Structure 1
């Protein structure tokens, strides 16, 4: 090859974090090949993002990585509580169950075959990179994108630099993906319009090794909000478990926007952490100190032409709600099947525009919700007595003293604290935010629905907290456990669907839907896995849960996209071949072969 000629590829992903690496995995699952470049020297060296919710883990399950993830991560008791306390060893003011534990445990089990995991980014990324590189993708670290230009013929010409040798070269790609983080060069060069609000200041992550197992016996909690009102350094921090219970990140939030961030030596940070632990016998070793801005920025447009952005490139926010890497993974899952079908000539390029239509609102909501809940945390601290910069120790301690007093002021403050702690369910158990998306785009066909979507009663009353499963087009395929007529291991509807193909669910009397699925799939070159659910069918509904959520008659059908979202449903049978063919051609943006 001429050393001056560009490297040719179909797919170039910039960034090997959760967004870029997961996109490479999902594309590789389709047998596609491409290149991932990252300016970093390797995968993440510190924990960074850590909470993985069931929605994101369903994506990992779909490509066979769920078992590996759950072996590496921690769930259950290790995620049981959010706590508010004086210090890790000191007085506790309040706690709430979190991440599907306690009274909400049944909700998670009913919603997904997966569960919450604390799987830090430095453990997740190697899993993703290994899968991608063993399934057709090349990953090059220490390789920096320095520019790109869209050329004729649907090509994007990218200039890259090898950060080891300093050499520059070019990569020509059909599609470019900007998964290059909050300072995304791809988003910058595309000039994506952003909605940006003033930042919340500079926060610090202090990674330490400190054995707190003796403290956590009666304090099981992944996140421990410590409030040191008698100190003049940031009054609040959160002690986040990394490895139970001997490795932690202490996150120190700023006193407020515009307040200068403290410059501390490693020794000084060690002393601050020791103070927040509150047990002088604990040995603390500082492993890393990093800082980050509390951002509130989302992209109004997330793709242009053959260039797509995902992950932190399009949504920048604090880690509250724990949705950052989860949203990155789901961005990639949404985009990958569309790229596959268009690249293979099985769908019109217009299908790719639905990535923007479906995922941009999710990014905007995430940024707003995560910042709103951080502001709600400040209200908890205020109920405990925290005040703004410049307040005296006496002013700050007054609130804590009042909480203990049998006075009208004490009763009012306790009531206020309870109200604000109760609201924290909007961070710790947000099944509605995580699972309740409703996509509306040309890749969804709700034209035959008699009425607009209406959420179930719980979701309608508290849309952030609750998710009521539904097969309405644009909603997530409900998880239901199924079995064979002669019982064997239970199998989720999510395991029957997905796997890079469309799926069609019907019931007794729906044989013509299965025949139509085979015929339409063969005509369009798209695989459709069609199954019947019902007594005596290939899959049975032992708990009658599918009957309760399917939303169609026995001889109707539910069509599911490769990303496990409902594309369309038919109330009953009749004209199966014509109806299914028309719907799927509409989703793919292709013409009827009979019409030319």
Structure 2
């Protein structure tokens, strides 16, 4: 949801939704013997639990959708080209030279021709994945925990639409404890890519299997195992591609060079399995956080310390992501144990698996263990808190000085539950708004963003003072500051009174929102001189210091 909000802000939401699998097709995650065979259990996922749906609806105007990188990347590449960017594929990074105030010179090589050449730029962004050369050359310190082995991806074209009506979901664990298996293919997750004819079979080998030592499967061996996981030999299937990846638990201690000329994003600085669906989503939010800061700095509207805030704000998020994603995988161990997967022999696995059906105390205990294990995966499939509870503490890009109380504690389970707050450094709360004569509703998220600062004020005479303050401060600093009033007889009507419940300021107070829709500052009531106060806060958030900068960037 949070990543889709970023795409919504830059006008790409509709195009993404047109390519994505809709939320209603992601209703369940299942555990089964095969796609066509027996089902052991299922769990509501991604906000579809009737007991949790409201938590998701309160958190965001966007719904969960499934948009694989293979479909998302062309959308973003096309947008970049439309904005004048040149995209060069089949080009390898060789090295770079950080030249301080002069920028960065990067040497690259055309893979097809072998031609090498240099590119000079003001900044270099290392978005080069889990084997990031940029991170290596910068020698960014990495926090590492032991990995959890290797996984194999097999992209398969097979039409399973006739099976899905009664098995609706985008993730299906295929586990066969009562059957022999090759060491490279103990079990798999069948992940929908394109409904319902393209699937990724994410194959988990037996612990200890190593492709550097053990023979990798051929396509014929892959297909034989995949047919067992499909469970119906009459269904045509074709392998489109294979790959392998390491199940890592790695995060960089910092994301940027000391010069702030080089910034790393995405898998380059946080490497983890895809559990909780946090990978590309976090990468998009890294980019969204950094983009406006680079733009303001390049236009002379912000000081260099604002660039430092990128790593300060996003590194703790990345640490949380890799921790949660790896714990999500570990949470499944209890399911495997209850099903008999972890037994040392096929005979023992089969006996444990069959015990699930037994009308005995042992059977009852195993069934309860499996039920509890499935419930224990909720932090993967209902983790609205993990998605939305980012809090930017200790950042120069946030103004905390007017807060008289510490930040409220997160919910008892911050993975499962989202804390809605306007405390500086929190996400702007979502609330539906409309006009006095109702039209199409919009979110508070929609009145902010768009590359500018936004002041959200309330009803009454105060909103006129806030509008004047926004205009005055914006003119002085050369930045766009939009002021929008929300409430009775305001620019936007608070139709459900949700904003009033969530804003945590008085009618004559206001909330200042950064271009990335995080709260920069709030005034719980009208200050004595709102124009001067808004300018003071903006100077601080933009790291301009006392003298500030002229619009042209000269000091």
**In the superposition, relative to structure 1, how do residues 197 and 262 fare at CA in structure 2: closer, same or farther (>3 Å)?**
farther
Query: Is 1:532 aligned to residue 485 of structure 2?
Result: yes
Alignment of 1:3-402 (within 5 A): 54-103=1-50, 104-229=52-177, 230-233=179-182, 234-257=185-208, 259=210, 262-304=215-257, 305=259, 306-387=261-342, 391-402=344-355
Distance, in Å, in 2 between the alignment partners of 1:375 and 1:259 is: 20
* Contact 2:328 2:380 (C-alpha < 8 Å) held by counterparts: yes
Aligned to 2:420: 469
Aligned to 2:375: 422
* Contact 1:200 1:257 (C-alpha < 8 Å) held by counterparts: no
Give the superposition deviation at 1:446: 1.9
Aligned to 1:549: 502
* Larger deviation, residues 471-480 vs 586-595: 586-595
Distance, in Å, in 2 between the alignment partners of 1:125 and 1:169 is: 26
Which one of the candidate residues 546, 556, 562 is aligned to 2:515?
562
Superposition TM-score, scaled by structure 2 size: 0.94
Give the superposition deviation at 1:463: 0.7
Query: Is 1:586 aligned to residue 535 of structure 2?
Result: no
Which one of the candidate residues 556, 564, 573 is aligned to 2:526?
573
SS in 2 for 1:505: strand
Distance, in Å, in 2 between the alignment partners of 1:594 and 1:167 is: 45
SS in 2 for 1:139: coil
CA offsets 1:406-432 (integer angstroms, 9 cap, x no match): 222112111111111111110011100
SS in 2 for 1:591: coil
Distance, in Å, in 2 between the alignment partners of 1:505 and 1:217 is: 45
Query: Is 1:448 aligned to residue 399 of structure 2?
Result: no
Q: Which runs of 4+ in 1 moved over 6 A?
A: none
Aligned to 2:552: none
* Larger deviation, residues 520-529 vs 107-116: 107-116
* Larger deviation, residues 436-445 vs 324-333: 436-445
* Contact 1:199 1:257 (C-alpha < 8 Å) held by counterparts: no
Distance, in Å, in 2 between the alignment partners of 1:152 and 1:545 is: 48
Distance, in Å, in 2 between the alignment partners of 1:410 and 1:447 is: 60
Q: Which runs of 5+ in 1 are unaligned?
A: 1-53
CA offsets 1:447-492 (integer angstroms, 9 cap, x no match): 211211114xxx5122101113111111100111111122211111
CA offsets 1:237-264 (integer angstroms, 9 cap, x no match): 1111112111111111122256555511
Give the superposition deviation at 1:324: 0.3
* Larger deviation, residues 495-504 vs 399-408: 399-408
Distance, in Å, in 2 between the alignment partners of 1:270 and 1:450 is: 63
Give the superposition deviation at 1:136: 2.1
**In the superposition, relative to structure 1, how do residues 310 and 257 fare at CA in structure 2: closer, same or farther (>3 Å)?**
farther
Q: Which runs of 5+ in 2 are unaligned?
A: 550-554
* Contact 2:174 2:229 (C-alpha < 8 Å) held by counterparts: yes
Distance, in Å, in 1 between the alignment partners of 2:161 and 2:444 is: 40
* Contact 2:23 2:66 (C-alpha < 8 Å) held by counterparts: no
CA offsets 1:286-324 (integer angstroms, 9 cap, x no match): 111111111111101110121100011001111111100
Distance, in Å, in 2 between the alignment partners of 1:588 and 1:484 is: 33
* Contact 2:30 2:39 (C-alpha < 8 Å) held by counterparts: yes
SS in 2 for 1:419: helix
Give the superposition deviation at 1:211: 1.4
Distance, in Å, in 2 between the alignment partners of 1:82 and 1:292 is: 23
SS in 1 for 2:456: strand
Aligned to 2:366: 413
* Contact 2:539 2:548 (C-alpha < 8 Å) held by counterparts: no
Aligned to 1:36: none
Give the superposition deviation at 1:71: 0.7
Give the superposition deviation at 1:281: 1.5
Give the superposition deviation at 1:445: 1.3
Distance, in Å, in 2 between the alignment partners of 1:427 and 1:283 is: 32
SS in 2 for 1:225: strand
CA offsets 1:64-94 (integer angstroms, 9 cap, x no match): 0000000110123310111001111111111
SS in 1 for 2:87: strand
Aligned to 1:21: none
Aligned to 2:437: 486
* Contact 1:200 1:254 (C-alpha < 8 Å) held by counterparts: no
Distance, in Å, in 1 between the alignment partners of 2:215 and 2:152 is: 9
Aligned pair count?
Answer: 538
Superposition TM-score, scaled by structure 1 size: 0.88
